[in-house]
């Protein structure tokens, strides 16, 4: 048996202690990882994409003043459309047809803000971002946010929990945040613009015959249309007929405005005598980009049909699920 000097024995013992410590550490890490793997879902963490990167990206922001972020692919444009919290907007609610924006900017009102702006602009706005504290928006802030988001470090921030520590809540999935970063990083700071919509204020008549300062939805619709044109929809140039199969007056026209805001061509809006529960699309070509895009916008299915109607390639039938979302 080989006899080691005392210093050599201490060295060998230290080596084995280190190996044992490494073994125990690896065992604990693997056990921890195994436990996390069982409870961790990549799909849940990253979320399903709601944006196809071809259309404009739109999100309601609880800034001061309230803003709507629009990222347009072509031409490259990032615009913040601002509305004062004291502005009155139409709501689609028969009991409260006009509401002041400040009344829907509380905690837990994120979806309400999206809904109010959707009806006001007469275009689909499904995404929102709310902040923990007041976030004043001006041109300098808009440019700062652009630089922050276009940074090469942004993907790491998305992975580790968030880009802005001031964000309280958002329904924009990490998948779409990555896609948005990939597109925005190719923009220049000259692409950023801020449009103050207070210039379009006018008197609106409230149901009790009072007059308040507000913005007409027709004006807002015309403003936002400039930034929402979808080249794929425009390229297909399919004719769309909208049928209102609900008892709610105006539902068909609101849906038609959703379509025209992204460059769709609406050839007819009519009302059906029957009332249906669910919205759906009828078209001969179920694989057309326009049909799939509208189905995602209206969260509905696509039914095949030999023809969609006289003079139309796509028929959009509005059901009660649509009016439940935007009317009361």
pLDDT one digit per residue (tens) for the chain, 328 residues: 555 565 555 565 556 555 555 555 555 555 555 554 555 566 777 788 899 999 999 999 989 899 999 999 989 999 999 988 878 777 666 667 777 777 766 655 677 888 888 988 999 999 999 888 888 999 999 999 999 999 888 888 887 766 666 788 889 998 999 999 999 989 999 999 999 988 887 776 665 666 666 677 888 899 999 999 899 999 999 999 999 999 998 999 999 999 999 999 999 999 998 899 999 999 999 899 999 999 999 999 999 876 555 689 999 999 999 999 988 7
CB 278 within 8 A of CB 299: no
Quote the CA–CA distance of 145 and 184 in Å, as a whole number.
11
Query: Can you state the angle between helices 139-149 and 174-184, rounded to 10 degrees?
Result: 100
Alpha helix (H) residue ranges in the chain: 6-39, 42-46, 110-121, 139-149, 154-159, 174-184, 217-228, 231-236, 251-261, 289-297, 320-326
CATH 2.60.120.10, domain 57-219, yes or no: no
* Dihedral-angle region of residue 242 (phi above 0 means left; psi in -120 to 50 means alpha; beta otherwise): beta
pTM: 0.80
Q: Say whether 229-326 and 57-219 share the same fold.
A: no
For 194, the 3-state DSSP assignment is: strand
Give the CA distances from residue 123 to residues 44, 61, 199, in Å, rounded to whole numbers and listed in that order: 28, 16, 20
Burial group, residue 112, by CB count within 10 angstroms (0-12, 13-18, 19+): middle
Neighbouring CB atoms inside 10 A of 193's CB total 15
Q: Does the N-terminal peptide bond of residue 278 adopt cis geometry, omega within 30 degrees of 0?
A: no
Q: List the chain domain ranges.
A: 57-219, 229-326
Residue 263 in tokens: 């460059």
Quote the CA–CA distance of 326 and 255 in Å, as a whole number.
10
The neighbouring-strand residues paired with 60 are 68, 128
Q: For the domain with range 229-326, which CATH number is right: 3.20.20.80, 3.40.50.300, 3.40.50.261, 3.30.70.2390?
A: 3.30.70.2390
- What does DSSP assign to residue 103? G
């Amino acid at each position: 048996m080989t006899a080691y000097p005392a210093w050599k024995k201490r060295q060998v013992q230290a080596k084995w202690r280190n190996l044992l410590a490494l073994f125990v550490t690896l065992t604990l890490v693997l056990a921890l990882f195994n436990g996390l793997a069982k409870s961790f879902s990549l799909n849940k963490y990253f979320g399903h994409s709601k944006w196809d990167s071809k259309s404009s990206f739109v999100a309601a922001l609880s800034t001061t003043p309230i803003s709507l972020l629009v990222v347009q692919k072509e031409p490259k444009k990032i615009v913040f459309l601002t509305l004062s919290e004291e502005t009155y907007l139409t709501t689609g609610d028969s009991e409260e047809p006009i509401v002041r924006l400040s009344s829907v900017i509380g905690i837990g009102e994120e979806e309400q803000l999206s809904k109010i702006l959707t009806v006001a602009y007469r275009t689909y706005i499904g995404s929102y971002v709310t902040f923990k504290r007041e976030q004043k928006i001006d041109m300098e802030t808009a440019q700062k946010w652009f630089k922050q988001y276009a940074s090469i470090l942004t993907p790491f921030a998305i992975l580790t929990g968030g880009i802005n520590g001031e964000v309280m809540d958002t329904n924009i999935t990490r998948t779409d945040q990555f896609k948005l970063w990939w597109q925005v990083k190719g923009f220049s700071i000259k692409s950023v613009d801020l449009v103050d919509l207070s210039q379009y204020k006018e008197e609106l008549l409230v149901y009790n015959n009072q007059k308040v300062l507000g913005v007409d939805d027709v004006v807002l619709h015309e403003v936002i249309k400039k930034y929402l044109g979808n080249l794929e929809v425009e390229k297909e140039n399919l004719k769309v007929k909208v049928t209102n199969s609900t008892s709610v007056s105006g539902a068909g026209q609101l849906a038609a405005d959703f379509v025209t805001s992204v460059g769709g061509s609406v050839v007819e809006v009519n009302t059906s005598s029957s009332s249906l529960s669910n919205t759906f699309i009828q078209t001969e070509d179920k694989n057309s980009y326009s049909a799939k895009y509208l189905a995602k916008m209206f969260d509905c299915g696509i039914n095949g049909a030999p023809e969609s109607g006289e003079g139309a390639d796509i028929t959009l039938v509005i059901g009660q699920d649509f009016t439940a979302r935007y009317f009361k």
